[in-house]
Amino acid sequence: FYWAHRVARLGIGPRALPVDLITADILTDRLDAALGDPVIRRRAATLGPLIAARNGADAAVDEIERLAS
């Protein structure tokens, strides 16, 4: 739920729902919004390269090693 909430706050996807409320129709609507909404598409296009440039695995290892020492 954290990441779904984060995606919505960053404006790169629709608002999150609890999994027990999701139906095929709701999921279809959410996917249509994520793929078709011009605001979401622009925001995702802006953030995509920034996210891709970060090596999450290396950052995670560094953080784990920092916490372990």
Name the pLDDT band for 18 (thresholds 50, 70, 90). confident
pLDDT in tens, 22-58: 899 999 998 998 899 999 999 999 998 988 888 888 8
The whole-number average pLDDT for the span 1-20 is 89
pLDDT-derived band at 9, boundaries 50, 70, 90: very high
What is the 3-state secondary structure of the chain?
A: CHHHHHHHHHCCCCCCCCHHHCCHHHHHHHHHHHHHCHHHHHHHHHHHHHHHHCCHHHHHHHHHHHHHC
pTM over 0.85: no
